[in-house]
């Protein structure tokens, strides 16, 4: 499994890399800030990402949001911020795990395995919906014969599909 790590402190980054390698992961990219993280996520196509929150240029939560928007992948945050507001911001950005620094080696691999498994389920469910990346389009399906069809499928603002029966 290929992991991208983003961490501005060199010692922690080296430590993380060693831990991941010990647990059988491949570290495919090491970013030192949020902008690098986005670029490396694009060029190395990792299976999962482990991001620090406070980094130069672009913070990890905003990087997570942009990485996920480009190509959905499970993201785990690794940060010293334990306040509810930061956790909530990360949760809203779509992260699958949130580990606190100083982190314990025993938490890293389990968080990644759980994140990858659950994110896989989310992607599978989205595939069933036919919308792996939500787009804003109207899906007002006509019947094959051209007559108005009583079931209307509309795309809501947030990209979700709303299905309802139209009463005529």
56, two tokens: 């130069």
168 binds another protein (CB under 8 A): yes
Q: What is the DSSP secondary structure assignment for residue 7, as one 8-state letter?
A: -
Q: Under a CB-based contact definition with an 8 Å cutoff, are residues 63 and 78 in contact?
A: no
Q: Under a CB-based contact definition with an 8 Å cutoff, are residues 91 and 75 in contact?
A: no
Size of the site for another protein (CB under 8 A): 48
88 binds another protein (CB under 8 A): yes
Question: Which CA distances in Å does 168 have to 79, 133, 148, 149, 150?
Answer: 55, 33, 10, 10, 8
Q: Under a CB-based contact definition with an 8 Å cutoff, are residues 79 and 86 in contact?
A: yes
104 binds another protein (CB under 8 A): yes
Binding segment (CB under 8 A) for another protein, from list 32-40, 44-52, 60-68, 137-145? 137-145
163 binds another protein (CB under 8 A): yes
Kindly tell me which residue out of 1, 99, 138, 157 binds another protein, with binding defined by CB under 8 A. Answer: 99
150 binds another protein (CB under 8 A): yes
Q: Which residue has the tokens 């980094």?
A: 55
Helix, coil or strand: residue 137: coil
111 binds another protein (CB under 8 A): yes
60 binds another protein (CB under 8 A): no
Nearest one of 98, 124, 100 to 111, comparing CA atoms: 98
22 binds another protein (CB under 8 A): no
Q: Which is nearer to another protein, 39 or 88 (CB)?
A: 88
Helix, coil or strand: residue 16: helix
Residues that bind another protein (CB under 8 A): 23-24, 82, 84, 87-88, 90-92, 94-100, 104, 106-107, 109-111, 113-114, 116-118, 121-122, 125-126, 128-130, 141, 143-145, 147, 149-151, 153, 160-161, 163, 165, 168
């Amino acid at each position: 499994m290929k992991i991208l790590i983003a961490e501005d402190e060199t010692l922690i980054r080296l430590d993380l890399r060693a831990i991941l390698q010990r647990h059988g992961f491949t570290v495919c990219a090491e970013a030192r800030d949020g902008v690098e993280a986005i670029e490396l996520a694009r060029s190395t196509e990792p299976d999962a990402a482990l991001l620090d929150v406070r980094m130069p240029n672009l913070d990890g939560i905003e990087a997570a949001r942009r990485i996920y928007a480009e190509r959905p992948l499970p993201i785990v945050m690794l940060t010293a911020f334990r306040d509810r507001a930061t956790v909530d911001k990360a949760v809203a950005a779509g992260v699958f795990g949130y580990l606190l620094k100083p982190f314990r080696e025993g938490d890293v691999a389990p968080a990644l395995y759980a994140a990858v498994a659950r994110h896989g389920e989310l992607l599978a469910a989205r595939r069933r919906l036919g919308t792996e990346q939500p787009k804003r389009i109207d899906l007002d399906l006509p019947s094959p014969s051209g007559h108005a069809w009583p079931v209307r499928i509309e795309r809501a603002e947030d990209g979700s599909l709303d299905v309802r029966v139209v009463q005529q």
